[in-house]
Amino acid sequence: MPTELRPSETLAPPAALPRRLGLAAATAVVVGEVVGIGIFLTPSEMARSLASPFWLFAAWGAAGLVSICGALCFGALAARHPEDGGAYVYLRRAFGPRVAFQYGWMSLLVTDPGITAAMATGLATYAASLVPMSALGMKLTAIGAILLAAGANVVGLRAGAGILQGLTALKLGLLAAIAAWGFGMGTGSWSHFRPFVERPADAPPLASAMVGGLLAAFFSLAGWWDVSKLAGEARDPGRTLPRALILGVGLVTLAYMVVSAAFWYLVPLSGVDSGRGFAAQAGEAMFGAAGGRVFAAVVIVSVMGSLVGLLMAAPRVYYAMARDGLFPAWLAAVHPRLGTPARAVAIQAVAASALAATGSFDQILSYFMAVTIAFLALTAAVVYITPATPGAGRAPGHPFTPLGFIVPAVAIVAMQVASDPIRSGVGLGIVALGVPAAGLFLRGSPRPIPPAAPPGP
């Protein structure tokens, strides 16, 4: 049941931020959030495990369709609650502060450190293309990247929006270059696509390969839901955000399929090295060893920028929750001299470093993806619980659209837990510890979320 706010508890709405985010800008936010380290790693891993062009494209297509269904749900929720906060706001309004606390607890100790560690591990993979190193050296490189990004945020570095946008453009430009040059230069062969459906005899079992492929594809498409956190700053959010989510997810899915096709065209299945990033392998196929090194360096720079941005943005969620009384105040404490959320950054960096030290890229995905997808499915279910506003907030295809995300999401969670119960269980166990933690951290009367601001023009 939705949480009812007593009149005595309701606070005055905060000052509204200007609604300046239009369709083009919102779509750019979706694309910028989604394009990260995943696409620079997953094509080689997916190609090696799925061992078939057909099944590779099937995994991308399935993940894209599921993500679009989820995006439609988040777009509808953003229209119903046109304010900043995203899933945190939706879950609290539908289920109350304890479930919202669990979401924040998961973000603090599982999702955010997991994504940070996965990005740093991917960076180390590309660093090994430049400087040969052992497995220990790669782990130390990943930890060093995390600590460097955390230190930059602790001492007060604020990467400007222009710099981060430039790094996103660099990543998109690299993907476009691989596709255009790969097909245009004719350095590959269409024979690599034969056979199109049949898999080699020594390929891994299809069921387990598809589980891994769907998880890798979903990770590469992850982040589309973050634009809903900016609903309070979108013009006509009931129309802008659903359209931006569909456009953004659709464009990125199409781009990823084209890039994967270019990779398959350039590198035969027998030559794919799943332990190396695909950009380095594609660069070598087109331009030799020098091309692989140049592409690897570009990826390292762009991923480092993403790490800095991630360790900058995540603590702001903890701030909001601490102000609402759902997190302890010390977590949002500001360093008295540096003026930065040093404690929140440090917790995220330490947890991410521990993950990077103990797991591979696939293992880190197993740690955080199952529980993250579970909470996304729970958030999508809020579409059935909170009412749509007049003329807005209804997901196209309702009531079937949410099921198009929830059912596959639950299936992926179940398959992931079955395929890697230890890592998945650790992530789920940490979230379970949030149940008793909620009793310790929640105040007697946690501050309610103020009434939703009107959508505005």
**Roughly how many angstroms between the first and final C-alpha of the chain, as a whole number?**
31
34, 256 contact by CB (below 8 A): no
Over the stretch 265-311, which tens digit does the pLDDT of each residue have?
988 888 888 777 788 888 888 888 888 888 888 888 878 877 877 77
Average pLDDT score over residue span 24-38: 74
Average pLDDT score over residue span 169-192: 82
Is residue 236 pLDDT above 60, yes or no?
yes
245, 72 contact by CB (below 8 A): yes
Would you state the pLDDT for residue 5? 36
Query: What's the pLDDT band for 7 if we cut at 50, 70, 90?
Result: very low
- CA nearest 109: which of 420, 355, 403? 355
Query: What's the pLDDT band for 39 if we cut at 50, 70, 90?
Result: confident
Query: What's the pLDDT band for 158 if we cut at 50, 70, 90?
Result: very low
More confident residue, 157 or 307: 307
Which H or E run includes 262?
A: helix 237-266
Would you state the pLDDT for residue 84? 61
Would you state the pLDDT for residue 173? 79
More confident residue, 417 or 22: 417
Average pLDDT score over residue span 125-142: 90
Average pLDDT score over residue span 167-173: 72
271, 68 contact by CB (below 8 A): no
Query: What's the pLDDT band for 234 if we cut at 50, 70, 90?
Result: low
- From 7-16, 127-136, 395-404, the region with the lowest mean pLDDT: 7-16
- From 179-193, 216-230, 443-457, the region with the lowest mean pLDDT: 443-457
| DSSP codes joined into one string, 104-170 | HHHIIIIIHHHHHHHHHHHHHHHHHHHS---HHHHHHHHHHHHHHHHHHHHTT----HHHHHHHHHH
Bridge partners, residue 230, by sequence: 84
Would you state the pLDDT for residue 375? 93
Distance between CA atoms of residues 323 and 327, nearest Å: 8
Percent of the chain with pLDDT over 70: 81
216 Cβ contact partners less than 8 Å away, ≥ 6 residues apart = 38, 41, 42, 45, 46, 59, 365
Q: State the average pLDDT for the chain.
A: 80
Average pLDDT score over residue span 156-171: 58
Over the stretch 202-217, which tens digit does the pLDDT of each residue have?
888 888 888 888 888 8
Would you state the pLDDT for residue 8? 33
User: Using DSSP, how many helices (H) and how many strands (E) does the chain show?
Assistant: 17, 0
Would you state the pLDDT for residue 160? 42
More confident residue, 13 or 245: 245
| 341-358 burial: b if 16+ Cβ within 10 Å, else e | bbbbbbbbbebbbebbee
Would you state the pLDDT for residue 225? 81
Query: 374, exposed or middle or buried, with CB in 10 Å at 0-12, 13-18, 19+?
Result: buried
Domains defined along the chain, listed by start: 28-192+200-441 (1.20.1740.10)
